[in-house]
Structure 1
Amino acid sequence: MRRAPALPFLLVTVFLDMLGLGLIVPILPALMTTVTGDAGTAVLWSGLLGSTYGLLQFVVSPLLGRLSDRYGRRPVLLASLTCLGADWLAHATASGPWTLLVFHALAGACAGTYTVVNAYIADVTAPESRARAYGLLGAAFGLGFVAGPTIGGLLGAVDVRLPFFAAAALSLANVAYGWFVLPESRPGDRTTPLSLRMANPVGSLAAVLRRPVLGRLAYARFCADVARMTQQSVWAFFLTYRFAWDSTHVGVVMAAGALGGAAFQAWAVGPVVRRFGDKRAAVTGSLAGAASLLGTAFVAVPWLLYVLLVVGVLGSVAGAATQSWISRGVADHEQGTVQGALTGLGAVAEAVVPVAAGAAFGWLLAYGSPGLVFVGAAACAALSALLLAGTPDLRPVALGSSGRGHQR
């Protein structure tokens, strides 16, 4: 099969993934209240579903990445999308919370979309073109984030379960599209062992972190994830507190920022990284992100907030550049394994940071200084930049090697 349709399919996959998630965000509380019978129980079950999903994603992602190295990217990706569609269909039809828990747990265990997509891009793009491809991926993510809640709110006004039927239909249609269109990027290597050490989250992370260069990049990406998740968790609450904005105003500003970020990643990331290289683009972008977060902590007037949003959009080059840098340092037959380990590490941030950031914000709010949460986020982004700046370039060396000769 031809490889030409691969990148468009991957972009559509990520867009639909995020669109499907966004569809249900504004209506999930109403559905959970309908299923459980009261709002208090709905909150508890929603938290349990989210935690179960994140835990199983952390546990299983390394295995899915390893399976994609051994058997190919295509079957793992299509299986992940099928599980996601089944999960949304369960949300649309379930009459009790236990059904939702079982299917959401299955979706978490099969949540290999981003693991496989990142590995797939490394398979089908030349190293000098990967930052552009990862930038386009970020743009697709952002567009789905903008479109999903809007469409979900409109559909939810018709029927509380309609957005879940729509999300399921999008996921399963994407499976059918991929079945007929998506080529295999690499046929797999049956000699790739499925050892317990490399297929469990602790062992796979240890194998990545032991690498002197790849390990530093993994730590840098984790710090960036912590900064990003902190901002996402408390940003709307902070704007409501600082400027007394209503939810509509906050939503419009968030949508504008997401659209700006999507446009920048789609059209500017590739040329910027080609001009400056992965390392300099990643370091500069991380510093821009840190500056944006630090400024947000003390912003006093709305116009300055908009300036800081633009700086943050420029800083989004760091994610694509770092991902490109990581992919260049991994042997072809282990792209899935490494991406799975990194997905698991990201799942830790997604599970822990929102709770910690929310608690810190609430505590600081009592003292009239909630913006200090952004100081902590800025420190994480600055630490990410420091780790990137101190990391030498690398060349592909298989996991499990002695570690010598990784650095140029």
Structure 2
Amino acid sequence: MSANGESAEDGALFSSKVIRSVFIVLLLDLLGFTLILPLLPAILDHYAHTGDGVYHTLQSVVDFFREAVGIPLEKKYNSVLFGGLIGSLFSLLQFLASPVTGALSDRRGRRPLLILTTLGLMSSYAVWAVSRSFGTFLLFRVVAGICKGNVSLCTAVVADLPCPKARNRGMALIGMAFSLGFTVGPLLGAYFAVGSEAAENVFYQTPALLALAFSAADLLFIWLALPETLTVDVKAKSSGLGDSGDLLNPLSLFRFSAVSRVEDPPTDERMQKLRVLGLVYFSYLFLFSGLEFTLSFLTHQRFHFTSMQQGKMFFFIGVIMALIQGGYARRIKPGRHIGAVRMAISALIPAFIIIGLSWNTTTLYIGLALYSFAAAIVVPCLSTLVSDHGTANQKGTVMGILRSLGALARALGPVVCSSVYWIAGAQTCFLLTSVTFLVPLALLRTVGRLKEE
């Protein structure tokens, strides 16, 4: 075999090793991260009954919002709203931390930053395990929000790969890790919480220790098996954090200003395409996360779903998404990602119309199946498209900014959408928001002729 043939084969083997490693790293990370999801209502209820001062201060904020938009005074809705408040805090911290983490990884390498953020997550889970007050519990969420850099760093690792097909396969498997993590993790959290409920005051301790164990296993795997994808010469060319304002100013993030401040900046056309893709990503997640959040309101209000029934519903969604990402999404050929995103977002319009108008669970699940198919495609494809932009020493910055825009969308979307839901009604909310998906579709038209390199 020729030297070039051997080099190509070695490159393919290295890419496959990187993709497999990233999948395992992210799956372990997400299994630990999602253990808390089914426990959050019980944790909030626990602190409500202990008379915790910090809890009741934040409860007054939730009550103000509930009264302002007309949400009924019911325990189920309070748990969803309080959980949404904590989720928004986490997302806002991610909005601030992700660009900085990505830029640092361009300078120091992916592995060192992954090790650092994983150590930070381990410390946050340790705080959760010993927390006995709501203030300590919030400290756990704050530390986790700042240190949760594994997602943007893993996408940067995949973006480092030179082969477009390998990048596409890697982004699809990152999506699959998300689907599996958000499907299996909550089940594990609920199971181990029930198993430890004899210790009434610390029923969440076993899931917290399990999250710590997943994070420790993740750290060990990163240390032993994940190769560094950022070469020494590329790291040497990185400008590090550069102008910190470009990484902290929201307007600069939407403009991807940090990407253009290099010696040999991208062309104006490529920068414009990158900015439009960022807007598509933000607008899509803003609308999608809002409807995803209000789905719990709709199923409880219209179909009287219990927590177990809602858990089964999200399990159904997760399984379909994992199947689509493991099958169709990772086989999308370079040059066809914009078409795939356009098809998926178009499918979300009838999906949310069906869900909004559903009169029985059969109709609901038809809409959810279409919703799951579309949701499995958009983020991996947009991540692949964005990963093509920026120089080799800017991939961490690019993917960190993209992750930051997504976090901001997830912080704002649920607040806006739940307000529309309770002020205008469920049907109006779902019909209006489904039509609003025409906005990211219109933005996609401006880059419809984008040639993927």
TM-score w.r.t. the length of structure 2 is: 0.79
Distance 1:125 1:144, change over 3 A: farther
Name which of 75, 79, 84 aligns with 2:112.
75
Q: 1:260: how far off?
A: 0.8
Q: 1:392: how far off?
A: 4.4
Q: 1:288: how far off?
A: 0.9
Structure-2 residue corresponding to 1:402: none
SS at match of 1:177: helix
Name which of 212, 236, 252 aligns with 1:190.
236
Q: Is the 8 A contact 2:98 2:403 kept in 1?
A: yes
Distance 1:374 1:359, change over 3 A: same
Structure-2 residue corresponding to 1:213: 273
Structure-2 residue corresponding to 1:376: 432
Q: What does the per-residue CA deviation read over 1:377-402, in whole Å, with 9 as the maximum and x for residues that have no partner?
A: 31342211221122145579xxxxxx
Query: Hey, what's the Cα distance between the residues in 2 that align with 1:107 and 1:306?
Result: 33
Q: 1:113 corresponds to which letter in structure 2? A: N
Query: Hey, what's the Cα distance between the residues in 2 that align with 1:303 and 1:5?
Result: 42
Q: Is the 8 A contact 2:335 2:451 kept in 1?
A: no
* Aligned-residue CA RMSD (Å): 2.7
Structure-2 residue corresponding to 1:61: 98
Query: Hey, what's the Cα distance between the residues in 1 that align with 2:219 and 2:90?
Result: 21
- Structure 2 unaligned regions, length at least 5: 1-12, 60-81, 197-202, 258-267
Is 1:309 aligned to 2:368, yes or no?
yes
Q: 1:189 corresponds to which letter in structure 2? A: K
Q: Is the 8 A contact 1:33 1:39 kept in 2?
A: no
Is 1:134 aligned to 2:140, yes or no?
no
Distance 1:377 1:130, change over 3 A: farther
Is 1:179 aligned to 2:223, yes or no?
yes
Which of 186-195 and 138-147 deviates more?
186-195
Query: Hey, what's the Cα distance between the residues in 2 that align with 1:372 and 1:16?
Result: 39
Name which of 334, 343, 351 aligns with 1:284.
343
Name which of 295, 300, 306 aligns with 1:235.
295
Give the aligned length.
Answer: 392
Q: 1:309: how far off?
A: 2.2
**Aligned runs of 1:258-269 on 2, under 5 Å?**
258-269=318-329
Distance 1:50 1:274, change over 3 A: closer
Q: 1:184 corresponds to which letter in structure 2? A: E
Q: What does the per-residue CA deviation read over 1:329-363, in whole Å, with 9 as the maximum and x for residues that have no partner?
A: 33222111111112221121222222222222222
Q: What does the per-residue CA deviation read over 1:182-236, in whole Å, with 9 as the maximum and x for residues that have no partner?
A: 1101135233222223332436515427831111111111111012201220112
Structure-1 residue corresponding to 2:407: 347
Is 1:23 aligned to 2:38, yes or no?
no
Distance 1:125 1:294, change over 3 A: farther
Distance 1:119 1:395, change over 3 A: farther
Is 1:10 aligned to 2:22, yes or no?
yes
Q: 1:67: how far off?
A: 0.7
Query: Hey, what's the Cα distance between the residues in 2 that align with 1:243 and 1:103?
Result: 34
Q: Is the 8 A contact 2:293 2:418 kept in 1?
A: yes
Distance 1:294 1:330, change over 3 A: farther
SS at match of 2:160: helix
Query: Hey, what's the Cα distance between the residues in 2 that align with 1:327 and 1:372?
Result: 37
Is 1:38 aligned to 2:75, yes or no?
no
Structure-2 residue corresponding to 1:405: none
**Aligned runs of 1:300-339 on 2, under 5 Å?**
300-315=359-374, 316-339=376-399
Q: 1:111: how far off?
A: 2.1
Q: Is the 8 A contact 1:60 1:201 kept in 2?
A: no
Name which of 83, 108, 111 aligns with 2:145.
108
Q: Is the 8 A contact 2:117 2:149 kept in 1?
A: yes
Q: Is the 8 A contact 1:328 1:395 kept in 2?
A: no
- Structure 1 unaligned regions, length at least 5: 397-407
Query: Hey, what's the Cα distance between the residues in 2 that align with 1:116 and 1:386?
Result: 30
Query: Hey, what's the Cα distance between the residues in 2 that align with 1:178 and 1:42?
Result: 37
Query: Hey, what's the Cα distance between the residues in 1 that align with 2:110 and 2:251?
Result: 22
Q: 1:383 corresponds to which letter in structure 2? A: V
Structure-1 residue corresponding to 2:79: none
Q: What does the per-residue CA deviation read over 1:13-58, in whole Å, with 9 as the maximum and x for residues that have no partner?
A: 2222222222112223444555672388547386675454333322
Is 1:390 aligned to 2:450, yes or no?
no
